[in-house]
């Protein structure tokens, strides 16, 4: 058996890779799409707000003028059938199957359990759990095919450090993220032997729009205080971790990454 070269490439390259990023219109997803494109990957940008996806595609075109245009894919991860159709169309537009899938779209609508609007629980569960499953189901055949062929194949799930924390008001959100972490750990056992590198990324406090949609005043106040105590890191920090790990040699998987502000502890 030959020993793989485990040195980190100084300029991680993803030339020839075909990526799909959900939630690519803002925050971590937008930064990840840009970072993957800068490393040479073709990227499908999935989300619900076309203007935001187009803006990210424009940023990619400016940053990487030689790269093929990023594909804008209107898709709602809570609509599994519609998402599958959109991803199929994106595959056709890009002209190749996906081998780097980032199931990243997420929603955080924290509120105390007794006062929460239960429709917000539905949104978090359908986006953070069912939406991740729908994304996986729509792309897993591409990934297993790449893995079988001995090519790099990455399934990257964005969970959260919250999967491990005890936070008042955040029970449902953190439960959805614990589910994502557990899903990734188990899928590793299922897909790893076929060559698919399943990776769970657990960000800490990161700059994005995630908290902007919260309606509960108590939870908003808690988050604002937490952000002052733990200044967020840029979304590009998470993106770089994803880019770096995807560029590692075939056969090596950084299976779990907690990426957070140092001060968050
Ligand atoms: P953002 O709110 O900036 O990004 C979330 C993205 O998900 C948006 O672009 C949104 O776009 C998309 N999205 C939401 N619902 C759907 C849907 N139903 N279908 C398709 N896309 C959807 O926040 P982040 O970048 O922070 O979030 C990315 C991931 O990172 C999430 O899973 C989040 O839980 C996780 N995370 C973030 C942390 C942080 O501190 N920021 C910490 C830990 C984890 P659109 O509305 O246009 O569809």
pLDDT tens readout for residues 181-190 = 999 999 999 9
| Residue 10, pLDDT score | 54
DSSP 233: B
d(CA 19, CA 91): 10
pLDDT tens for 147-181 read 999 999 999 999 999 999 998 899 999 999 999 99
Work out the pLDDT band at 67, boundaries 50, 70, 90.
Answer: confident
Domain assignment of residue 8, yes or no = no
Domain assignment of residue 3, yes or no = no
| Residue 66, pLDDT score | 81
170 flagged as catalytic: no
In contact, 73 and 176? CB cutoff 8 Å: no
Domain assignment of residue 11, yes or no = no
Domain assignment of residue 7, yes or no = no
| Residue 133, pLDDT score | 98
Residue 257, CA distances (Å) to 61, 116, 157, 238, 250 in order? 29, 31, 10, 9, 18
Domain assignment of residue 13, yes or no = no
d(CA 154, CA 196): 6
Work out the pLDDT band at 31, boundaries 50, 70, 90.
Answer: very high
Task: Determine which one of 131, 173, 176, 223 is catalytic.
Answer: 173
pLDDT above 60: residue 8: no
Domain count, the chain: 1
In contact, 52 and 75? CB cutoff 8 Å: no
| Residue 259, pLDDT score | 98
**Mutation test of ligand 1: which of 21, 57, 78, 105 has the most ligand atoms closer than 8 Å to its C-beta?**
105
Domain assignment of residue 1, yes or no = no
- Give residue 120's domain range: 18-260
d(CA 101, CA 89): 16
Domain assignment of residue 2, yes or no = no
pLDDT tens for 78-101 read 999 999 999 999 999 999 999 999
**This prediction's pTM:** 0.96
State the maximum Cα–Cα separation within the chain, in Å, rounded to a whole number. Answer: 59
Domain assignment of residue 265, yes or no = no
The enclosing domain of 78 has a CATH number of 3.40.50.720
């Amino acid at each position: 058996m030959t020993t793989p070269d485990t040195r980190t490439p100084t300029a991680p390259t993803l030339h020839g890779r075909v990526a799909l990023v959900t939630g690519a219109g803002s925050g971590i997803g937008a930064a990840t799409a840009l970072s993957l494109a800068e490393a040479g990957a073709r990227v499908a940008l999935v989300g619900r707000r076309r203007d935001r996806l187009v803006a990210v595609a424009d940023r990619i075109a400016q940053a990487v003028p030689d790269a093929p245009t990023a594909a804008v894919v209107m898709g709602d991860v809570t609509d599994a059938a519609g998402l599958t159709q959109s991803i199929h169309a994106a595959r056709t537009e890009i002209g190749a199957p996906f081998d780097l899938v980032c199931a990243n779209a997420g929603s955080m609508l924290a509120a105390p359990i007794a006062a929460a609007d239960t429709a917000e629980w539905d949104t978090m569960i359908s986006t953070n759990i069912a939406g991740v499953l729908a994304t996986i189901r729509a792309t897993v055949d591409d990934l297993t095919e790449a893995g079988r062929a001995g090519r790099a194949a990455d399934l990257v799930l964005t969970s959260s450090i919250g999967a491990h924390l005890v936070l008042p008001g955040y029970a449902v959100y953190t439960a959805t993220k614990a589910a994502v972490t557990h899903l990734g750990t188990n899928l590793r056992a299922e897909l790893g032997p076929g060559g698919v590198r399943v990776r769970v990324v657990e960000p800490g406090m990161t700059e994005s729009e995630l908290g902007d949609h919260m309606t509960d005043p108590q939870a908003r106040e808690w988050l604002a205080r937490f952000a002052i105590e733990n200044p967020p890191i840029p979304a590009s920090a998470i993106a770089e971790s994803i880019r770096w790990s995807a560029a590692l040699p075939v056969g090596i998987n950084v299976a779990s990454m907690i990426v957070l502000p140092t001060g968050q502890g």
